Amino acid sequence: MVHFRLRSGVLLYTLVVLFPQLCLGIRSIPTRETNTGAVEVPNGFRFSEAPDYRNGRDCPVSTTNGRSVSSCDPSLVHIAMTLDSEYLRGSIAAVHSVLKHASCPESIFFHFVAAEFDPASPRVLTQLVRSTFPSLNFKVYIFREDTVINLISSSIRQALENPLNYARNYLGDMLDLCVDRVIYLDSDIVVVDDIHKLWNTALSGSRVIGAPEYCHANFTQYFTSVFWSDPLMSGTFSSARRKPCYFNTGVMVMDLVRWREGDYKRRIEKWMEIQKKTRIYELGSLPPFLLVFAGDVEAIDHRWNQHGLGGDNVRGSCRSLHPGPVSLLHWSGKGKPWVRLDAKKPCKLDHLWEPYDLYISNSKGYYYARHDHQSMGFFTGSSYL
């Protein structure tokens, strides 16, 4: 059994209440170490410390003047992701990939949403992120599952019923009002290009979100015959500005000002309420987004979501890349690269994910990552070290 000891000195822990009905924000990170100096957290999670990626000369100058980085800094790129024990390994790899390829990694602010009752508590997850990325600008929000639990219907795969899948619906409420735009990323992705390119996507007209669209996909398969036979429900798409096309919600650029003004959270919830009464789709959190936004999405180059690498939602079989350049790889579907790699049954493309994996496994004989900072307090980003 591993015995933990607290660092000497007083450890600061501040719990900031943000929208009590939805979430809490954690702004400080307590630290634990083994007596050998190795980073250690409960539930067996161990990750090596990532390289310290720094801004180049041409990056925007922060307005904080050396103070703690605020999410209201206008020079920041905002990225939102979920954080939970099941997909933690994927989330850490995703963050690592974003930083590694970013032209201005210190100008990125991560907003992590953690489940209230995850086996690894939000406090532990916060600690783990800080130990893995000591100079990262980030904040962890606690998502109260009772916000959405009564709106979730059964799906073709149990993992799709996780309340945390619906947290992106509430980003407009959770994030500070000064955050007017955010990139939402799933946990099963790696970015192999500069994320600033995606951030600079213009949302034309009054469009609220941008995402790669796939108009060749059979759009009708995402809804049941009950939906299509009802003229009122199926007529939803007739008012769209253009043909409704499938898009994957795992990579989105979101205008949070327009999101809040249009109360899109409530628009999505209304469709979920209908689904509870009359089954109009089989998948989880995707169809409500399609019902609200399909046909009115800013089309982003397909290179930013090479999705489906996890196979379908039943077998999780191997897939190949779509034709064209690649900026983001997405293992949507049942199969996840870390699971297949550990089982020694990887798909060919899973090896593209592996270089970003910071997980430490005893069975592989890896050394634990050392953590040599003398104290932990409020996270401050680039001025932290």
Per residue in 145-164, pLDDT (tens digit) is 887 778 876 655 455 567 88
* Ramachandran class of 332: left when φ > 0, alpha when ψ lies in -120 to 50, beta otherwise: beta
Rounded to two decimals, what is the model's pTM? Answer: 0.83
Q: How many CB atoms lie within 10 A of CB 178?
A: 11
Quick one: how far is CA 364 from the chain centroid? 28
Domain boundaries, the chain: 5-50+74-368
Per residue in 330-371, pLDDT (tens digit) is 999 889 999 999 999 999 999 999 999 999 986 543 333 333
Q: What is the structure's pLDDT at 145?
A: 83
**pLDDT, average across residues 246-261:** 96
Average pLDDT along the chain: 81
Residue owning tokens 């997980």 = 359
Per residue in 362-380, pLDDT (tens digit) is 654 333 333 333 222 222 2
Q: Cα-Cα-Cα-Cα dihedral of 123, 124, 127, 133, to 10°?
A: -120
Per residue in 111-140, pLDDT (tens digit) is 999 988 888 888 889 999 999 999 999 999
d(CA 40, CA 45): 7
- Among 292, 102, 326, which Cα is nearest to 200's? 102
Percent of the residues in the chain that have a pLDDT greater than 70, as a whole number: 77
C-alpha angle 174/180/185, rounded to 5°? 65
The 3-state secondary structure of the chain, one letter per residue = CCCCEECCCCCCCCEEEECCCCEEEECECCCEECCCCEECCHHHCCECCCCCCCCCCCCCCCCCCCCCCCCCCCCCEEEEEEECCCCHHHHHHHHHHHHHHCCCHHHEEEEEEEECCCCCCHHHHHHHHHHHCCCCEEEEEEECHHHCHHHCCCCCCHHHHCHHHHHHHHHHHHCCCCCCEEEEECCCEEECCCHHHHHCCCCCCCCCEEECEECCCCHHHHCCHHHHHCHHHHHHHHHCCCCCCEECCCEEEEEHHHHHHCCHHHHHHHHHHHHHHCCCCCCCCHHHHHHHHCCCCEECCHHHCECCCCCCCCCCCCCCCCCCCCCEEECCCCCCHHHHHHCCCCCHHHHHCHHHCCECCHHHCCCCCECCCCCCCECCHHHCC
The CATH number of 5-50+74-368 is 3.90.550.10
pLDDT at 72 over 50: yes
Q: How many CB atoms lie within 10 A of CB 148?
A: 21
Per residue in 25-51, pLDDT (tens digit) is 544 333 344 443 334 555 567 899 999
d(CA 310, CA 312): 7
Q: What is the structure's pLDDT at 236?
A: 87
What residues form DSSP beta bridges with 182?
A: 254
**pLDDT: which is higher, 109 or 381:** 109
Quick one: how far is CA 200 from the chain centroid? 19
Which of 44-48, 86-90, 320-324 bottoms out in mean pLDDT, i.e. has the lowest? 44-48
